[in-house]
Amino acid sequence: MAVEVAGRLRQVAAAGQGIGLWRLIRTRTTFAAGAAILILVSLMAIIAPVIQRHDPQGLSPVDRVEPPSAQHWFGTDHLGRDVYARTVHGARISLRVAASVALIVSIVGVTIGVVVGYNRIADNIAMRLLDGMMAFPTLILALALVATLGSSLNNVIMVICIVDTPGMVRIVRGMVLSLRERPYVDAARAIGTPLPMILLREIAPNTIAPVLVQSSVYFGSAILTESALSFLGVGTPPYIPSWGNIIGQGRAYIQVGFWIAFFPGVFLALTVLAANLVGDGLRDLLDPRLRGAR
Amino acid sequence: MTGYIIKRVLAAIPILVFVGLVTFSLVHIAPGDAANIMAGDYAGPDDVKKIRAELGLDKPLGRQFIDWVKRTATGDLGRSIFSGQSVGKLVKQRLNPTLSLTVGGGLLAVLIGIPLGVVAAWKSNTIVDRVAQVFAALGLAIPGFWLGFILLWAFAVNWRIFPAIGFVSIFDDVGGFFRSIALPCLLLGVTGSAVLVRMTRASLLEVFREDYIRTARAKGLGERAVLFRHGLRAGAIPIITVVGFLAAGLLTGVVVTETVFTIPGVGRLVAEAVQQRDFPIVQSLLMLLASVYVLVNLLVDIAYAYVDPRVRL
Amino acid sequence: MGMSGSWKVTIVGGLAAVALLAAACGGEKIVERTVVVEKPVEVVKEKIVEKPVEVIKEKIVEKTVVVVQTATAVPTPAAAPESAKMGGKLSVALAAGISTLDVGRTTGTTASTPSYAVQEFLLAYDENLIAQPLLVDTWSLSQDSKKWSFKLREGIKFHDGTPLTAEHAVKSWLRWADRDNFGNTILTFVDKVNATGELTFDVNMLEPSALVLEGMARIGGYYPVIIPPKMYNIPAATGADVMIGTGPYKVKQYLPGDRLTVDRYDGYKPSSLKASFMSGKKVAYFDEVAYVIVPDQNSRIAALKTGQIDILDTVPGDFYKDLSKTAGVTVQIITNNSNRQGAWIDNVDGIFKDKRVRQAFAMAYPVEDALRASFGDSQFWTACPSMMLCGTKWGNFADGSQGIYNARDVAKAKQLVKAAGVEGATVIVLSPEDLPIYANPALISRKVLESIGFKVDFKATDWATQTNWREKPELWDVFHTAGGGAWGANPLLNSSLAKNKYWNKYQDETGRMTAGMDKLARATSAEQQLAIVKEMQLVFWEDIPYVSFGDSFNTAALRSDVANSRTSYGMPFNVFNSWREKK
């Protein structure tokens, strides 16, 4: 019964695709654009301390809510902190959240997915649990979880992982279910290859393509979820400038200082957009099967 | 078919049991309780102790769980610690705005998303396609609340076209109703349609490559006829799936949307109950929303099975 | 008004403490709430504090402290015919959900704001904070000053139709006295309260005291509202789930989390006295008043601009300019009722057990930075060196604060920390991220603590979590909050100064603060009281039960066509006796 759900997810992952030469080129250009943006933003995050110009935490209550100027490129927030410095610095936090989520979800998702896909009993138990987890609307579950665990950067990452992992497990499990019937897996089994070896050598590597695609989706959505949590007041703590909480704190001042929420918002949207473009591109490059000709 | 439906319904039961367990434990290991908030800031340690005892929050956790299961089993969803009103009544009061928003936003999403997706697929690689794709890409990348602020600032504060806060029931004032839900629905519609555009376009592109479409074209059937007679019918199956996803997305979307536009709906009820540590409400609403989600998925699966008989096997 | 009691207040009283109790404003800090309206007529300005070392440049150079000694007469608005004022609807914004409909259950302002229109007291303060009769008609005091006799006005009915009787009055009042800390104090003077007839009741005293009258008119803290049996039969801790009273408006509809709507109570029986602050004649001009819950600040301001909200009792200072320019909106900085801001420290567990460390923290603290971080330009706050709120009767002197308050003496503070042998220790600072006015000073506190040689464990949480953590001394060392009204005007009502009463768990090792309280409660002249409070202030600046920053003013904004609605002494904006000017 879970197969059709996995199938549905795969269709989601396959959205926006077709075939043909021009399409491949288009895919590569958007992929290139996405990758370029991601690289730039990552670079910005890495060299943030060099290019930040001001202390992102430097309070200057006298200069509060000042519009963009030569001194403060993106203006200042309600505590007089430099929005440019915070935005640049925010890239570090937001990308850290995104990368951690993508990585952890992939590793945990593949591990559980492979085991579950190969073991009937584990499958039955795990699928019931995952169905339960997936029954909660994601944001609402995340909201309740962060409220429970308390808001810290690690908790936010953990919660987004908890919310995202079931989807990944499903995809991997779906892959494994079909992979294990493949002739070469049968062959490996026939020549007496031990099960862990089969899982490690034959099954796991073949799940990489959809996992990569899906993790790029999670990369983008993690940034969005973090920001939504910050907006609802339970995200990353305020003294850690993530894009989400810069916007979250700036929202109260939109009518007198739109720049506080505007600039980090632009960076956020651009990065999520880039992650999605990369995901689309990866899908086309890595997994021709998903390209559509089913 | 009936067998399939029964199977699906039965499968939903353990899910709900699990959901209940998670819900209770979530809420009860949370730091911060309602007694402190209830008391007000001038209240000292003694006052808080009194209120905590009053609310039963000083009982051991196991005891509280048993009490909760007993009550829930008899259909008593509990009472809000703050307003003292039953959760059922609170939800009922707030159903109208939330339903209006999800129906309106969902409808808008479908009305924007599917035609745009169809046109994009049909006219692929044209400027129309590009515009549709940019729209979809942005819709997926921009945080909903951020877009909401912009809408609020532009349409409510600056141009004064729509109200900035609140909800008017359709039974009280039809014009006011549409004005009050215009911005929230626009927000839900735009973010929801982004997914729809992508999915519709993708699935139709696949369909258009199928042999029978090529055959239809080859035998000289008009473009329009090919699209409507063959293309859309085949494309409908994945689109049903997507609409299911949309419904789930809307459930999450209303939390943010209702908060941005100060709509007294179920979404805001959840968010505020979490902030206030109003346990009974958080518990019941998590249960309720998860159930709705399970139900929607159930319906989607059934619809899917209905359209695509292979699934029933 | 021939009440024999009224003059006796001054005599018996000696307890003029009393009038002060009234300078009250309660406020649950969860809701960042506004206090009183900008003084319409006369403000007494005096420069009480010369600014100490000015480290941070200030944009606003001139800094005066506005001190309002007494309430001033509400100016009679241009006479419009009564009928022309009638009708229309009014919307008042509430920044948080109404936590309960029973003001006997909470000191929170979300409940007391609508209660102000719906429920009434036995006595009510006029604009000079003299208790005037409201539900009571007349009263007298026995020859030996040990028995107060009250008679209620005739023909008053609660909104649910129950006629007001002496029994209801007595039971409601006792329910309040049992709940409220000031009420508890009063009860120590009281022997028995009993109804003597349909409309008459007596208060028999153990010792003569005029506090009884103040208790009937008490504002700030819990409100002594007179309620029907349906409400008072439910214990205050449980809280009734209805709001019923005798006021000019009655509850029409309550949608939790959304709004509470009140409409005109046709059976209202107004007092025949002239309207003055809370007392006298009240008229419900509006057909309907809606208290709309709008938790998001941005939305509240947007709704005020679009006219969906008429009264917004708190606006951050940053919006002052923007709103001043908005057509149809009037903004007010309310200087005559402020909140004392500060850093509350854990006196029983951790480094602050040592008085020297508390002193060091206070001595290094740049209070203006904290106030500015929360409230913006200095027109919105005043650095105040007195223990009690600046502008109140006992808040006009700096005794004991020299060299410690706002001294910014990091070097000396470091020495003290070293002397105490706790250098390098870890200090836990709580920061409620959902409340910037308390989260912002937390950032300053962190800097200060680091500068005097501590490591800071900065715990960003939300207010709800913080309220729980502060119950456990090992979980925190510093949190930020504020107090206003009676709490800030009278040491007797300031729980943070009482031994072990509030979360700071002040220990008063020398016992001098407690002794001061005792003397103050029994003092009989204004001079005596002043001298006692001055002494207590010396103890305050030596002991540092909490680090006091100074006082914040509130900014409120109204639609300009709302006439005759104002806020005084921490009470919400009045919605009775107010109307909408027609163009």
> Any idea what the CATH number is for the domain that residue B231 is in?
1.10.3720.10
Round to whole Å and give the CA distance between C192 and C146.
11
Chain B: closest CA distance from residue A191 (Å): 33
Instruction: Name every chain C residue with its beta carbon within 8 A of the beta carbon of B36.
Output: 464, 467-468, 471
Report if residue B186 sits inside a domain.
Answer: yes
DSSP 8-state code for residue C247: S
Quickly list DSSP for C360-391: HHHHH--HHHHHHHHH-SGGGEE---SSSPTT
| Whether the Cβ atoms of residue C445 and residue C473 lie closer than 8 Å to each other | no
Q: Are residues B167 and B222 in the same domain?
A: yes
Confidence (pLDDT) at B281: 83
Q: Are residues B171 and B45 in the same domain?
A: no
What subunits touch chain B, counting only 3 or more CB pairs under 8 A? A, C
Higher pLDDT among residues B196 and B69, named by residue: B196
pTM for this entry: 0.81
End-to-end CA separation in angstroms for chain A = 21
Q: Are residues B65 and B99 in the same domain?
A: no
> Which of C106, C259, C464 is the closest to B39 by Cβ?
C106
Q: Are residues B98 and B200 in the same domain?
A: yes
| Whether the Cβ atoms of residue B119 and residue B109 lie closer than 8 Å to each other | no
Q: Are residues B175 and B34 in the same domain?
A: no
| Whether the Cβ atoms of residue A156 and residue A229 lie closer than 8 Å to each other | yes
Q: Is C448 on the interface with A (CB under 8 A)?
A: no
Task: Please report the residues numbered 306 through 335 in chain C whose beta carbons come closer than 8 angstroms to any beta carbon of chain B.
Answer: 306, 308-309
Q: Are residues B157 and B227 in the same domain?
A: yes
Q: Are residues B138 and B62 in the same domain?
A: no
**Angle, alpha carbons C6-C10-C16 (nearest 5°):** 125
Report helix, strand or coil for C336: strand
Q: What would the CATH number be for the domain defined by A2-286?
A: 1.10.3720.10
Q: Are residues B252 and B133 in the same domain?
A: yes
Report if residue B191 sits inside a domain.
Answer: yes
Q: Is the dihedral of CA A204, A205, A209, A211 positive or negative?
A: positive
C200: how many CB neighbours lie within 10 A of its CB?
Answer: 17
Q: Are residues B113 and B206 in the same domain?
A: yes
| Residue closest to A151 by CA, chosen among A265, A238, A249 | A238
C-alpha R_g of chain A? 22
Instruction: Please judge whether C434 and A254 are an interchain contact, meaning their C-beta atoms are less than 8 angstroms apart.
Output: no
A294: how many CB neighbours lie within 10 A of its CB?
Answer: 9
Q: Are residues B107 and B233 in the same domain?
A: yes
The pLDDT tens digits for C445-500 are 999 999 999 999 988 777 767 877 888 888 999 999 998 877 888 888 788 998 88
Instruction: Name every chain A residue with its beta carbon within 8 A of the beta carbon of C436.
Output: 78, 249, 252
Report if residue B252 sits inside a domain.
Answer: yes
Helices A120-135 and B2-28: crossing angle in degrees, nearest 10, is 70
The pLDDT tens digits for B8-31 are 788 778 787 788 778 777 766 665
> Which of A15, A16, A251 is the closest to B149 by Cβ?
A251
For B177, the domain range is 94-276
| Residue closest to A179 by CA, chosen among A289, A97, A262 | A289
Q: Are residues B249 and B102 in the same domain?
A: yes
Report if residue B301 sits inside a domain.
Answer: no
List alpha helices for chain A, DSSP H: 3-13, 21-46, 48-51, 83-118, 120-135, 138-149, 153-179, 183-190, 195-197, 208-231, 243-250, 259-286
Round to whole Å and give the CA distance between C341 and C487.
12
Pairing of strands C131-133, C123-125: antiparallel
| Whether the Cβ atoms of residue C504 and residue C345 lie closer than 8 Å to each other | yes
DSSP 8-state code for residue B153: I
Report if residue B3 sits inside a domain.
Answer: no
| Whether the Cβ atoms of residue A159 and residue A146 lie closer than 8 Å to each other | yes
Report helix, strand or coil for C579: strand
Kindly report the backbone phi and psi dihedral angles of residue B10, in degrees, each rounded to the nearest multiple of 5, phi listed first. -60, -35
Task: Please report the residues numbered 93 through 122 in chain A whose beta carbons come closer than 8 angstroms to any beta carbon of chain B.
Answer: none
| Residue closest to A64 by CA, chosen among C61, B149, C437, C374 | C374
Chain C: closest CA distance from residue A57 (Å): 9
Q: Are residues B186 and B55 in the same domain?
A: no
| Whether the Cβ atoms of residue C427 and residue C478 lie closer than 8 Å to each other | yes
Q: Is A153 on the interface with C (CB under 8 A)?
A: no
Report helix, strand or coil for C196: coil
The pLDDT tens digits for C217-246 are 988 778 999 999 999 999 887 789 899 999
| Whether the Cβ atoms of residue C148 and residue C139 lie closer than 8 Å to each other | yes
**Per-residue pLDDT for C68 more than 60?**
no
> Mind listing the pLDDT tens digit of every residue in chain A (294 residues)?
333 444 444 444 444 444 444 555 565 777 888 889 999 999 999 999 999 888 887 777 678 889 999 999 999 988 788 999 999 999 999 999 999 999 999 999 999 998 888 888 888 888 878 878 887 888 888 888 887 777 789 999 999 999 999 989 988 888 888 888 888 888 888 888 888 888 888 888 888 888 988 899 899 999 999 999 988 877 887 778 899 989 988 888 888 999 999 999 999 999 999 999 888 887 777 655 444 332
Residue ranges per structural domain of chain A: 2-286
The pLDDT tens digits for A13-35 are 444 444 444 555 565 777 888 88
Report if residue B218 sits inside a domain.
Answer: yes
Round to whole Å and give the CA distance between C418 and C340.
30
What are the Cα distances from residue C382, in Å, to C142, C344, C403? 46, 19, 18
Name C44's bridge partners.
C67
Round to whole Å and give the CA distance between A244 and A95.
11
Domain count, chain B: 2
Ramachandran class of C270: left when φ > 0, alpha when ψ lies in -120 to 50, beta otherwise: beta
Query: Chain centroid to CA A286: how far?
Result: 19
